[in-house]
A and B are shown apart, each in its own frame.
Chain A
Amino acid sequence: MLQYAAIAMLMLGLYGLLTQRNIIKIIVSINILEIGLNLFIVSVGYVEGGIAPILTSDFNNNGLVFVDPLPSALVLTAIVIGVGTTALGLALAKNIYQKYGTFEIDEMGEE
């Protein structure tokens, strides 16, 4: 179920990129896309009825089902990267606003 939600968010992000011509809205769209993607990655690692993959010495949980830990680790990295790109995007948005005085791509004119 989570997967479908994630894919829906992904699609939403793509839709936003396709239709929006406002710099900030584009950045928001790409964030939605990335969040959808991150959710999707997490959902891939989820195992029905699994528990957190933590190995402890005083409680033997070898017989239990674990959630795949790798996607979670990947998501952490992906989130960090996503934040980096967003920050960069916003910085550029500021530059663009300073240069053109608007966030609307249509109002900037072709170069």
Chain B
Amino acid sequence: MSAILLIAVPLLAAFISILFKKYAHYILVFVSFASVFALEYMDLGTITVGGFNAPFGIVLILDDYSLIALYIVNTLFFLVAILNCNEFKKVGSIMLVALAGLNGLLLTGDLFNLFVFLEVAGIAAYLITTTNKKPLATFNYLIQGTVGSSLYLLGLILLYAMFGTLNMADMASSIASSGYGAGVTAFPFLLMFIGFGVEAKLLPFNSWTKGILANSNRLTGPMIASVYAAAIGFVFGRLLTNVFVIEDTFLIIVTIILIFSVVAGEAMAYASTKVREILLYSSVAQAALVVVVFMSGFTGWAVYLIIGNAAAKLVLFLITNTATKQLGNDDVETFKGLFVNNKIIGLSFTAVTLSVIGLPMFLGFVTKMNILENMFVSGDYIWPAIILITSVVEGIYFIRLLLNLWYKENDLPEVKFEFVLKYVVVIIALLIMVFGVYTEPVQESADDLVAYSYIEGGNL
């Protein structure tokens, strides 16, 4: 089966679903399930589109990296879709477009094509976030997203003018063979970095996140914080490891941005008293951490960091938003004692949170330890210190949240969680625990990804 179907089928389904509006959500669930299922039958390799060979035409690349990314994003997407298909019937068609856009983002090997999919996924995201009923926040997101992708396009065109290619792999090798110093490419790369930084929630460019995620509902919260974050993380990782040349002044700028994102993200989460705000600021810090790990070159562990975060944020936002809807607001005060009568949900929430903090017995611990170990081996002593110090802060606010949710004597909030949600949440929590203890497969696959470089795609 050709990987192009992963883009074409959802897109086609989106148009069909407009004709059959009543069944849009069934089509959505079916297609998103089918695309997870179809991944099993995909052949690895490069797919040329339109008969033009690699550096000249658009190519889609399905390698181990994008296969993992597709699995994660499609699975998470399917979970979000099935949990919300009844409540948000209207956005069924849009979700299908989003699926096409996200799959395209992960598959494409062409920089301009990436821009197109970024916009497709972006527009779908703007439309999905209109279900928050906060048009101003969505507008803010729209403007920032558009500015970001415009800057990405500008950087891309500058690169095209310099090297005459749009193919990622070809671009990387042209830059390497051109002999230009890093100073020449720094400007376009910075523009592209900013463009992605907006979507990836890096700090100075992410003011949209508060409006979107702090007012999110059960669809938008997991969708933006988990599915989109994972997809953007994976694509950003591909660019960072394979295309970008980050040196000199550019490196300083990027490092400052990242340190600021991590530190300020944790501090803001610490200063927050609303559950969704805590989660969203923590995901700002985590997103920056993902970028750091990619930049340090530990692709395998960055992938696991993304997976861990995406799974965690899915669980956390699902639970939080379900509770918020029933309780009316998301102050920690209101949430107090939430888990006393919802033990299963509480245990999953706790397990996932402990994994995000990086306590032993959970996947997050394995990931964090390996990232730190690799950093130390490569002689980096600064980032581990920053990561550890911010981890303390992160741990404190998450533990404070957990204890508040677990311990309260009377006057408990009444929240009902439906059966499917419980199922999903428990399975994710169990997986996080299982792979936190049984680390062998994680270790091996991560090592494989480190050793492997994607450049073999793109007809090179």
Do A and B touch directly, given a CB cutoff of 8 Å in the complex? Answer: yes
B415 at the interface (CB under 8 A from A): no
Would you call the interface of chain A mostly helix, strand, loop, or mixed? Answer: helix
CB distance from A9 to the nearest CB of B (A): 12
- Assess the B154–A23 pair: CB atoms within 8 A: no
Instruction: State the majority secondary structure of interface residues on B.
Output: helix
Cβ B153 vs Cβ A78 within 8 A? yes
Chain B stretch 139-165: residues in CB contact (< 8 A) with chain A: 139, 142-143, 146-147, 150, 153-154, 157, 160-161
Q: Is the CB of A34 within 8 A of B139?
A: no
In the complex, which residues of chain B have a beta carbon less than 8 angstroms from the beta carbon of A5? none
Indicate which residue in B126, B139, B147 contacts A23 across the interface (CB closer than 8 Å). Answer: B139
Cross-chain contact of B116 among A37, A77, A93 (Cβ < 8 A) = A77
B116 to A95, Cβ gap below 8 A? no
In the complex, what residues of B have CB within 8 A of residue A30's CB? 143, 146-147, 150
- Expressed in whole angstroms, the Cα–Cα distance for A23 and B142 within the complex equals 12
Give the interface size bracket for A toward B.
20 to 34
Say if the beta carbon of A2 comes within 8 Å of chain B: no
State the Cβ distance, A76 to closest chain B Cβ, in Å. 11
B331-354: CB near A (< 8 Å → 1, else 0) gives 000000000000000000000000
Query: When A17-B147, A81-B116, A84-B123 are in contact, do A95 and B160 touch as well, CB less than 8 Å?
Result: no
CA A84 – CA B154 in complex, angstroms?
19
CA distance A110 to B182 in the complex (A): 42
Interface string of A56-76 (1 = CB under 8 A from B): 000000000000001100100
Nearest CB of chain A from residue B142's CB, rounded to whole Å: 6
Q: How far is the CA of A85 from the CA of B115 in the complex (A)?
A: 14
Specify which chain A residues have a CB less than 8 angstroms from the CB of B161 in the assembled complex. Answer: 44
Binding site for B on A (CB under 8 A): 10, 17, 23, 26, 30, 33-34, 37, 40-41, 44, 70-71, 74, 77-78, 81, 84-85, 88-89, 92-93, 95-96, 99-100, 105, 108, 111
Q: Are B116 and A96 in contact (CB under 8 A)?
A: no
State whether the Cβ of B64 lies closer than 8 Å to any Cβ in chain A: no
Q: When the two chains form their complex, are residues B123 and A88 in contact, meaning their CB atoms are under 8 A apart?
A: yes
Q: CA A99 – CA B138 in complex, angstroms? A: 13
A85 touches B142 (CB 8 A): yes
A10 to B135, CA, bound (A): 26
Of A74, A85, A99, A105, the contact of B123 (CB 8 Å cutoff): A85
Check if A92 sits within 8 Å of B119, measured CB to CB. Answer: no
Other contacts beyond A30-B146, A92-B138, A96-B139: 4, CB < 8 A: A37-B157, A85-B146, A89-B146, A96-B135
Q: Are B160 and A44 in contact (CB under 8 A)?
A: yes
B142 neighbours in A (Cβ, 8 Å): 85, 88-89, 92
User: Which partner residue on chain A sits nearest B138 by CB separation?
Assistant: A92
Residues on the A chain within 8 Å of B123, using CB: 81, 84-85, 88
Closest to B211 in A: A111
User: Which residue of the partner chain A has the closest CB to B161?
Assistant: A44
Smallest CB separation, A74 vs chain B (Å): 6
Contacts of B137 in A (CB 8 A): 111
Return A66 CB to nearest CB of chain B, in Å. 14
Q: Bound state CA distance, A68 and B155, in angstroms?
A: 18
